[in-house]
Amino acid sequence: MAVAVLLTSTACDSSPDYLDNDHGKDGMSTQQQFTELLKRPDAKQAQAKYDEALTDLRAKLTEATGFSAWQQGTVAEVSPGCNAFRAVDVHDVYTAYTTWGLPDAIPEASWVKTTQALTEAAGKHGFTKKGFEVNQPAFREFHLLDDFGADLTLSTSTGTTTGTSTMLTLKTGCHLSAEAHMRGTPRATGAPGQ
């Protein structure tokens, strides 16, 4: 339940980097969009890379906060389709969510130091663009983005009753399935599941 609430709260911004809401590729043909996705790792490769990053980032956050009781929450592959690549068949593209939680809230006095440590460590994994930040007394949230549209979010709240006060969430950008990546060409129109 806490995971769903925090996931919802991290997807409130209406900018293109959030909710996969980028319309910048709408003028591209299906082939052009597919070719752009071929330059990225496939969904499984991307998830493996992000899982490695999350392992490293949890360790860095533990160093920064002293909190180490991370528990894995949701790992969900989300399909069909990606709004940023609307012309590509919905069966060929995926995004995924992974969440990790802590029972402890990061104190307000430690928030800046913690987000600085996250920014430095995440930059080594390609998260070099800062997204939006919320800094309220009872709730804080910090976003970093990579070149593929992945959104790394650290959020903490002192008012939770669910047992999870801090969340580290990663939503991948859009990636082709392994099958579509190997096929190397767009799916034939009207041929889902092939």
CATH code of residue 37: 3.30.2030.20
Residue 173 forms part of a structural domain:
yes
User: Residue 99 in contact with residue 70, Cβ under 8 Å?
Assistant: no
Q: What is the pLDDT of residue 188?
A: 81
Residue 8 forms part of a structural domain:
yes
Q: Please, which residues have CB within 8 angstroms of residue 119's CB and are 6 or more apart in sequence?
A: 130, 144
Q: Considering its fold, how many domains does the chain have in total?
A: 1
Residue 193 forms part of a structural domain:
no
Cα 151 to chain centroid distance, Å, stands at: 4
Q: What is the pLDDT of residues 79-116, one digit of tens each?
A: 667 888 989 998 899 888 999 999 999 999 999 999 99
Percent pLDDT > 90 in the chain is 65
Q: What is the pLDDT of residues 23-66, one digit of tens each?
A: 677 788 999 999 999 999 999 999 999 999 999 999 999 999 99
CA distance 47 to 148: 12
Give 183's pLDDT tier (boundaries 50, 70, 90). very high
Residue 147 forms part of a structural domain:
yes
Residue 92 forms part of a structural domain:
yes
Letter string b/e over residues 75-84, b meaning 16 or more CB atoms within 10 A of that residue's CB: eeeeeebbbb
User: Residue 119 in contact with residue 91, Cβ under 8 Å?
Assistant: no
Print the domain residue range for 117.
2-182
pTM of the shown model: 0.83
